Amino acid sequence: MPTAVEPGTATRHGSPSENRVVAICGPPNVGKSSFFNRLTGLRQKVANYPGITVEKRLGSLRLEDGGQVDLIDLPGIVGLHPRSEDERVCVEILRGQSDTLPRPAAAILLLDSTNLQAHLRMVPGILGLGLPTLVVLNMADELEARGGSVDTKAVSAQIGAPVVLASAVTGAGMEEVVRFLRGSFAPAGKVELPVINNIPAERQWAHSVAARSSYHAPEPSLWGRRLDRIFLHPVGGPLIFLAVVIAVFQSIFTLAVPIMDAVESAIGVSAGWIGALLPDSMLKGLLLDGVWGGVGSVVVFLPQILILFLFIGLLEDSGYLARAAVIADRSMRAVGLEGRSFIPLLSSYACAIPAVMAARTIENQRDRLATLLIAPLTTCSARLPVYALLIAAFIPERPLIGPFLGTRAAVLLGLYAAGFFAACGTAWLLKSAVLKSKPAPFVLQLPAYRWPTIRSLTFRLVDRSKIFLRRAGTVILVTTIVLWFLASVPYQNGEPPPIGESLAGSIGRTIEPLVEPLGLNWKIGIGLITSLAAREVIVGTLGTIYGMESDEGSPALQQALQAELSFGGAIALLMYFAFAMQCMSTVAIVRRETGGWTWPAIQFAYMLVLAYSTGFAAYRIFG
């Protein structure tokens, strides 16, 4: 089906896709993701990391007539003068200059109706790109609740494009958006727009359009001022910041444990069923120990990872994250980075890959490089399973500060701090030696405080679960199966060999001299190799090697580790995982973002040296 043709558009790329493609663009913090979620529901995906230029969200909307519209959610832009990579990609897609995507058939410009005078400034630039464009004034519910109003017909007449007042939260106005997506929307008459690239002129124009559209700005929200008074208080602000961080870590352990127990027993019970169904054979071993045990040992960490992402989502959606960045700016500056580096670094607590990509928003290229080089040092969620296993096995739980902080959470917090300080120290080294640069002006927009919606939090968690399970189903599955084979050959008298005599065992013994100085044996050495694919793989690996149920909560695996590792060795292993670049996906994304192998190679070597030397020191001190 050809894309619908609107009058008044001169240039149009023939789209190779059958579906009509519509791009959603607009400034940050106008509710773009909830708008996108409202339209696409669960029919969306975050495009795979390797091989694409930007984290773009793609989704689709099925129409009543059976047709389908594909939607692209573009990163937020404040203007068409692309300064950062992110904005460049967005503008390229809208202009049809992107290599990876066809030019969209139409665009939706999403603006915040509660701040219309300022946001209308975006209109001439976007309409000037020549795509049929619908201007959506979002957050209609907030505008109304705070006593504001606007005449959309008057706006439409002045800008020469259809205008809809909508709310992605309540769903108001969304039918009209769908009507536009279908391609059946009467275009408004052509209007002379101010020359773009002159911001003061655009601003004057925007203010006068708002004034002539009987725009009444809503009352300022008093809540925002009050909350800022608390969160940015000279003493209270940093204390709240600290309390929030501690609460997140404590709940990763306390809240997640009952859920993880349930997942674990479900895996155990289902393994029993499968075992009963299958005849004894090599295949049964592969399925039960290799696939079920290996993948299951990783899936059991899903609750902890979801809790971490739930908190990050709450902080981000509520608007607190930007305040936290303000509080953190001083420390970021001490290591020579700009405050904006804080956001990618914070997301690297979830995963280094989106963090490396989030660094695109940093305009100064040297700051950007420094940020993406240090991002993998912060504690990503893949380290969590490893930390959880070792902490549970080697650190006895005792209360430290009443019921609020126990020894285990404190050790975990310490590991996070170790990663954080390593990242800061590295940044300081880089910025004072290799990547010196003039400081760029630090500018950070603070979004309005908003209640996080259950809807948007759910979408985040579903998204993360999908990514995590996809990893468990691919990289981790393959590594587990390969390892299982290596541990099962050569067969002796029709039986799998003892692990020490298997192929995996001989590989392990070959590298043992390398890991011995850290107090580790050849079995852990095998884990260090397999976990290059993904850090959490080591849990499944140890499970396979020790030939037992491999869950972090499994007492058997914990006991086996206690018998094999000294306390110093365990601390050395924790240090190794804190600092080593045990993640091939991150290496790949850094290569892509820096355009060559030089930086990822330096990064890998640097992190390996750091990991090995701190591990060695830890074993000497605690061993």
Partner 1 sequence: MPDTESDSLDRLSPGVTAVIAALDFEEADRVRLMELGFIPGSSVSCQRVVPLGDLAIFQVEGTQVALRKETAARITLQASDAGRNPDADGG
**Which positions touch partner 1 (CB under 8 A)?**
78-79, 81, 83, 114-115, 117-119, 199-200, 203-204, 207, 211, 217, 220, 224-225, 228-229, 232-235, 237-238, 326-327, 329-330, 339, 363, 440-446, 448
Q: State the Cα–Cα distance between residues 71 and 17, nearest whole angstrom.
A: 12
Nearer of residues 81 and 436 to partner 1, judged by Cβ: 81
CA-CA distances (angstroms) from residue 174 to 32, 137, 138, 166, 171?
A: 13, 11, 10, 6, 6
Give me the least distance between CB of 357 and partner 1, in Å please. Answer: 21
Nearer of residues 362 and 382 to partner 1, judged by Cβ: 362
Give me the least distance between CB of 441 and partner 1, in Å please. Answer: 4
Give me the least distance between CB of 339 and partner 1, in Å please. Answer: 8
Give me the least distance between CB of 387 and partner 1, in Å please. Answer: 32
Q: Look up residue 358 and give its amino acid.
A: A
Residue 549, Cβ density class (10 Å: 0-12 exposed, 13-18 middle, ≥19 buried): buried
Q: What is the DSSP letter of 435?
A: S
Give me the least distance between CB of 363 and partner 1, in Å please. Answer: 7
Give me the least distance between CB of 110 and partner 1, in Å please. Answer: 16
Q: Look up residue 230 and give its amino acid.
A: I
**Tokens in use for 332?**
């970021």
Q: State the Cα–Cα distance between residues 370 and 337, nearest whole angstrom.
A: 8
Give me the least distance between CB of 155 and partner 1, in Å please. Answer: 16
Instruction: Tell whether omega for the bond before 279 is within 30 degrees of 0, i.e. cis.
Output: no
* 135 within 8 A of 161, measured Cβ to Cβ: yes
Give me the least distance between CB of 370 and partner 1, in Å please. Answer: 18
Nearer of residues 217 and 476 to partner 1, judged by Cβ: 217
Q: State the Cα–Cα distance between residues 351 and 467, nearest whole angstrom.
A: 11
Nearer of residues 100 and 197 to partner 1, judged by Cβ: 197
Query: CA torsion, points 589, 594, 597, 601, in degrees to nearest 10?
Result: -80
Q: What residue spans of 96-235 are helical by DSSP H?
A: 116-119, 122-127, 140-145, 152-159, 174-182, 199-212, 222-231
Q: State the Cα–Cα distance between residues 64 and 34, nearest whole angstrom.
A: 22
Stretch (H or E) spanning 167:
none
Nearer of residues 72 and 111 to partner 1, judged by Cβ: 111
CA-CA distances (angstroms) from residue 49 to 44, 141, 467, 588, 589?
A: 15, 35, 10, 9, 7
Nearer of residues 201 and 457 to partner 1, judged by Cβ: 201
Give me the least distance between CB of 595 and partner 1, in Å please. Answer: 22
Give me the least distance between CB of 613 and partner 1, in Å please. Answer: 34
Nearer of residues 118 and 271 to partner 1, judged by Cβ: 118
| Partners of 406 in beta bridges | 399
Nearer of residues 328 and 538 to partner 1, judged by Cβ: 328
CA-CA distances (angstroms) from residue 395 to 139, 411, 413, 416?
A: 49, 8, 13, 16
Give me the least distance between CB of 358 and partner 1, in Å please. Answer: 18
Q: State the Cα–Cα distance between residues 569 and 573, nearest whole angstrom.
A: 6
Q: State the Cα–Cα distance between residues 107 and 74, nearest whole angstrom.
A: 10
Nearer of residues 207 and 591 to partner 1, judged by Cβ: 207
Give me the least distance between CB of 332 and partner 1, in Å please. Answer: 11
Q: State the Cα–Cα distance between residues 189 and 222, nearest whole angstrom.
A: 40
Tracing tokens 């959506």 back to the chain, one arrives at: 136
Nearer of residues 153 and 229 to partner 1, judged by Cβ: 229
Nearer of residues 178 and 440 to partner 1, judged by Cβ: 440
* 541 within 8 A of 527, measured Cβ to Cβ: yes
Nearer of residues 77 and 107 to partner 1, judged by Cβ: 77
